[in-house]
Amino acid sequence: MADFEETYREYEQMIQAFLLRLCGNAHLAEEVTQETFYQAFRHWGEFRGQSSVSTWLCTIAKRQLYNAVRRKEALPLEEAVHQSAADVTDALVDSDRMMAAHRLVHRLPEPMREVFTLRTFGDLSHGQIGSLFGKSDSWARVTYYRARQLLNHMAKEEWMNEE
């Protein structure tokens, strides 16, 4: 139990920052952070150490965020009526762009996907990422750069296919 409490103190802020970067909503990030650590506590005995604790927690956090977004209920009718058509259209366009970007990220091969996610959404330094993987910060920097290059290539191909 003491190990888990120490893990919580060490990683709680990092996980919440990671989730905030993913969803852009402080309240949701806080809720999902708590759910992440609840799930981690429930499965603490199952952690095999095949990855670092922070990578394991980020994986749980990402899964919990996706579950929370899927469960999210539609706006109550009275709130929906008050939104202008332009607001709704803008939100849909931004939502569609965000989903398209996340789809591309999920098509990246590992470890590029994880490095890109940790750097972009988790706001971790190259040194921290390298440490998570047991590699150097240069390895993380190169892997991140290659992931960005591949994402740009994939996005260009996708846009060309839409035309």
Same domain assignment for residues 147 and 121: yes
Question: How confident is residue 89, by pLDDT bands cut at 50, 70 and 90?
Answer: very low
Predicted pLDDT at 86: 45
Q: Which of 24, 50, 74 is the last residue of a domain?
A: 74
Contact residues for 76 (Cβ-Cβ < 8 A; gap 6+): none
The CATH number covering residue 70 comes to 1.10.1740.10
Predicted pLDDT at 58: 86
Predicted pLDDT at 21: 82
Same domain assignment for residues 114 and 151: yes
Same domain assignment for residues 118 and 140: yes
* Single-letter amino acid, residue 103: R
Query: Could you report the per-residue pLDDT of 18-69, keeping only the tens digit for each?
Result: 888 888 788 888 999 999 999 999 888 888 877 788 888 988 998 888 888 7
* Residues 107, 120: Cα–Cα separation, whole Å: 16
The burial of 15, by beta-carbon neighbours within 10 Å (0-12 exposed, 13-18 middle, 19 or more buried), is given as: buried
* Residues 162, 160: Cα–Cα separation, whole Å: 5
Same domain assignment for residues 63 and 95: no
The CATH number covering residue 100 comes to 1.10.10.10
Contact status, residue 107 vs residue 154, Cβ threshold 8 Å? yes
* Residues 99, 128: Cα–Cα separation, whole Å: 27
Same domain assignment for residues 55 and 98: no
